[in-house]
Amino acid sequence: MADQQLVSGAISTAASNLRDTLAAAENLFKDNPAGFLDHIGVLLGGIDAYTALFKSTGFKSKQELEDGVRKLDNDVRKAAEDLLDAEQEWESFLSRVENASVVQSGTLPTTSLLEVGDFLPLDLLLFQVGEDSPTSLKSVLSSGTEPYTHLVLNRFFG
């Protein structure tokens, strides 16, 4: 594990980068809530923030980071609390996006939130990391050669 000063700095940098990503996303959302999903890639900065954090500290997962922080000094714990605050801001923003979503053809109604066991319409539009345009659930399910498809909804990237 890296030294405490390095860990504290890396955590602080991750919190700052997460907030910068969030500010950019909030500006896009404020300017055009209905078109926000066209710019969903802005949220990928969250992945970059955690990738840099894990690489610089040597932690392999969010749980490992949290366990390691408990063993370190107060400065590291303060930085970790700041990161948790940034994650709460991220969660709050995503909730606002969900609640303000505009109903579009092929999407779920704004009052629907996915839960385990929900059935989804095959014309549901999905956004894939690195792609500019959405694709339908039917297209994703029919494009694979494997008997199972695992879809993941990411809210945090840690």
The interaxial angle of helices 4-31 and 62-70, nearest 10 deg, is: 130
* DSSP symbol at 136: E
In the structure encoding, which two tokens stand for residue 137, read together? Answer: 């659930």
Is the CB of residue 141 less than 8 Å from the CB of residue 120?
no
114-147, pLDDT tens digit by residue? 677 777 778 877 766 566 677 888 887 777 777 6
In tens digits, the chain (158 residues) has pLDDT values of: 458 899 999 999 999 999 999 999 999 988 888 778 778 788 888 888 999 999 999 998 889 999 999 999 999 999 999 999 999 999 889 888 876 664 443 455 544 566 777 777 788 777 665 666 778 888 877 777 776 666 655 555 54
Burial class of residue 142 in the structure, from the number of CB atoms within 10 Å of its CB (0-12 exposed, 13-18 middle, 19+ buried): exposed
Residues forming a β-bridge with 126: 135
